[in-house]
Amino acid sequence: MYNMSRLRAVLTLPRRLRLSAPTPLDRNVDHMKFVLDLRRRGIMDAAVLRAMEEVPRDKFVMPAHARSAYVDRAMPIACGQTISQPFVVAYMTEQLEVRPEHHVLEVGTGSGYQAAILSRLAAKVTSIERYRTLADAARIRLKALHYDNVDIIVGDGTAAVPDRALFDRIIVTAAAESVPQALVDQLTVGGIMVLPLGPHDEHQALAKIVRTEHGFERTDLIGVRFVRLLPGQAQEL
Ligand code: SAH
């Protein structure tokens, strides 16, 4: 529970007047404002907002960025990659329409933050990352937070995930120039995939693809900017 009188005092205290290191209460306040801001920007799904409220983003960014973990921006992580902007994480998750019985595949584990959010909504999450360094660090983080329904694999997410059944939902958190066929083939009928599509180093459109009995239906959503989806597992790191 929050201490309401202390909370009100901190909410009215301009950030630049905080002379000491942020306390757990400061972090709670920043985190609460962050969720209110997501709601103000149009994220409506209560379960998604709850997951964004529950998962501590400050544990997924580099220590030097922990103080600004609840600012709405992408941040650098190891291996030259980025943890996505929280609004985009919330928006993609909402568009994925995850239900509690679902098995979700994420391509591009990165810090593990998006996988952590999905783990609060789905029965099981499988996340695949081409850098072993990132996959190992994300696995340790998720274990420390007891998000035990996430399985992290090192490999190439543009190829079919070996020995895995079909997935109810697939989210790709790196930009592809076209829809990877091996991935859509792993969607159940009625399944949904959300991915950034478009030229590298430019803005991309978030696409939502629904697998129907007869094929696929695609809707383009908001503009986004993601790092590249690269083929193959990384040789180093
Ligand atoms: N979802 C992450 C952010 C992802 S950044 C988070 O919440 O922090 C995109 C990630 O996709 C990078 O870590 C990059 O290494 C990974 N990636 C790019 N191409 C890939 C591929 N073919 N297979 C698996 N991972 C890939």
Confidence (pLDDT) at 161: 75
> Residue 13 — pLDDT band, cuts 50, 70, 90?
very low
How far is ligand 1, taken at its centre, from the CA of residue 15, in Å? 33
Residues 154-172: tens digit of each pLDDT = 999 998 776 667 999 999 9
Burial of 133 (0-12, 13-18, 19+ CB in 10 A): middle
The answer to whether the CB of 157 is under 6 A from ligand 1 is yes
Instruction: Name the region of 107 (left: φ>0; alpha: ψ -120 to 50; beta: rest).
Output: beta
Judged against a pLDDT cut of 80, whether residue 233 lies above it is answered with no
Ligand 1 atom 14: the closest Cα is on which residue? 108
- Kindly write down the DSSP assignment for every residue of 86-143, as one continuous string: HHHHHHHHHHHT--TT-EEEEE--TTSHHHHHHHTTSSEEEEEES-HHHHHHHHHHHH
Decide whether any atom of ligand 1 lies within 6 Å of the 153 Cβ: no
The tokens describing 57, both together, are 């983003």
Q: Give tens-digit pLDDT for 183-226.
A: 999 999 999 999 999 987 778 999 999 999 999 999 999 999 99
Q: Which CATH superfamily is domain 71-224 in?
A: Vaccinia Virus protein VP39 (3.40.50.150)
**CA 232 to ligand 1: nearest atom:** 22
Q: What stretches of the chain adopt beta strand conformation (E)? A: 75-76, 82-83, 103-107, 124-129, 150-154, 167-172, 187-197, 204-211, 216-224
Is 9's pLDDT higher than 60? no
Q: What is the position in ligand 1's atom list of the atom closest to the CA of 134?
A: 13
Give the number of the atom of ligand 1 that is nearest the alpha carbon of residue 117: 7
Contact criterion met (CB below 8 Å) for 217 and 189: no
Q: Please indicate whether residue 130, judged by its CB atom, sits closer than 6 Å to ligand 1.
A: yes
Domain ranges in the chain are 71-224
Question: What pairs with residue 224 in β-bridges?
Answer: 204
Residue 116 CA: nearest ligand 1 atom is: 7
Q: What is the model's pTM?
A: 0.90
* 5 carries an active-site annotation: no
Contact 3, 25 (CB under 8 A): yes
Ligand 1 in reach of 158 Cβ (< 6 A): yes
Cβ of 233 less than 6 Å from ligand 1? no
Helices and strands (H and E) in the chain: how many: 7, 9
Q: Is the CB of 10 under 6 A from ligand 1?
A: no
DSSP 8-state class, residue 228: B
Confidence check: pLDDT of 107 > 80:
yes
Contact assessment for residue 171 and residue 118, using Cβ atoms and an 8 Å cutoff? yes
User: Strands 82-83, 167-172: parallel, antiparallel or unpaired by DSSP?
Assistant: unpaired
Decide: helix, strand or coil at residue 25.
helix
Q: Which of 84, 111, 119, 127 is catalytic?
A: 84
